[in-house]
Structure 1
């Protein structure tokens, strides 16, 4: 066989092998953020006529088991027929879920956080056209030995009215994998914390405390499952950030 023919055959085999590897590797490529969900959300105060703000959270997030880091995409939409005017979106963490940073947003001072929450950011929105949306990539950590919740209220700029509130809604899994590189958590699922030896740890979320008041920030959150909005200034600090 001539050297030229051998070179051609070898080249074809290399190309075929590379193509096969690409095909086999394709399913292993990480998926992008899945479709958003408004699970745990409801309208609160009456929004201006023609304005209908809502929010979306991913159906699934992935938490690195070593660093505990994750990213949560929080999306605010205007499902109405008119421009929204100025709004603000709050991104608030509870229990084992701590919001570390939301680019383009301001951290809520510890004294102005809702009672029972550990972190929060306020995101000013100049205007949302009818049908438009805006997304924020929230950097967070999740202590997999605890339960964790997130809350997304959409308010007018001074926080005197809450037009929509999603949560506090949990992320979690009922089948933890402490030895895996990462743990997938599902929206609307209470986390079942598991120690490295497989023994279940006590849950830390407080079941009837789904709604907690903001202080000087003036934001109101809606009690899950109830039709009221609570208003109150916080008293002395009852918790410390973890």
Structure 2
């Protein structure tokens, strides 16, 4: 058995549809709960959600980027002790989140490459808390981020946003920076900048209908939550 904590993948055709239909254009600078879903029932009167920016920008030289992750309590009662995880996948690596603690590699969810846990003593009704996230994004890969909001002991996940992708369908390798959109699968430019790299066997031979199947698989695999043993 893997030394990492188990990551349960849940989903359905409905979840896949949700992930697909939530992709809408938004004004620059807006935040979104795109790709988010309630999982376990929160305490009465508590309604927790998260927000990510609709757009981020990646420096083409350093691959550095920054974003803000926000957790909100849209309910009528205080949350009590909770925690939010900020986890990177594939080409997106979370480097630092001030005020949060790095998650040990053995405790990361399966498939993730980095993460931080942000304990919150209490989130008042109607309140929110934001975290500055420093990250890198390898533009020759896809990249995803996930924000689970859990009970303090990690036994319940009240809300989970992602893993949701950032990406662009119009790479700009010769520009100083590449803008990426939330909810968009990255189409990385090849080293020469003229064609997309092949990331799978026979990728260029896939029939037209396979695009829809790929979206469906991406949607159904997008809901997970990490379970950890309560701390002593």
Is TM-score (shorter-chain normalized) higher than 0.5? yes
Is 1:44 aligned with 2:56? no
1:142-221 → structure 2 map (5 Å cutoff): 142-198=137-193, 199-203=195-199, 207=218, 209-211=221-223, 214=226, 217-218=228-229
Q: Distance in 2 between matches of 1:131 and 1:202?
A: 46
Instruction: Report if the CA contact (8 A) 1:115-1:213 is conserved.
Output: no
Higher RCO by CA contacts (8 Å cutoff, separation 6 or greater): 2
1:80-159 → structure 2 map (5 Å cutoff): 80-159=75-154
Q: How many residues align?
A: 186
SS in structure 2 of the partner of residue 178 of structure 1: coil
Q: 1:137-157 CA deviation, whole Å, 9 max, x = no partner? A: 110000000000000000001
Per-residue deviation at 1:195?
Answer: 1.6
Q: 1:28-50 CA deviation, whole Å, 9 max, x = no partner? A: xxxxx812100000100000000
User: Cα–Cα, structure 1 residues 159 and 67, in superposed 2: closer, same or farther, change >3 Å?
Assistant: same
Q: Distance in 2 between matches of 1:193 and 1:174?
A: 8
SS in structure 2 of the partner of residue 194 of structure 1: coil
Q: Distance in 2 between matches of 1:202 and 1:188?
A: 21
Give 1 or 2: higher strand fraction: 2
TM-score calculated relative to the size of structure 1: 0.73
1:71-86 → structure 2 map (5 Å cutoff): 71-86=66-81
Q: Distance in 2 between matches of 1:59 and 1:107?
A: 25
User: Cα–Cα, structure 1 residues 214 and 43, in superposed 2: closer, same or farther, change >3 Å?
Assistant: closer
Instruction: Report if the CA contact (8 A) 2:157-2:225 is conserved.
Output: no
Per-residue deviation at 1:79?
Answer: 0.3
Aligned to 1:9: none
Q: Distance in 2 between matches of 1:209 and 1:201?
A: 23
Instruction: Report if the CA contact (8 A) 2:78-2:124 is conserved.
Output: yes
Instruction: Report if the CA contact (8 A) 2:141-2:186 is conserved.
Output: yes
Instruction: Report if the CA contact (8 A) 1:37-1:56 is conserved.
Output: yes
Please, which runs of 5 or more residues in structure 2 have no aligned partner? 1-27, 201-213
Aligned to 1:17: none
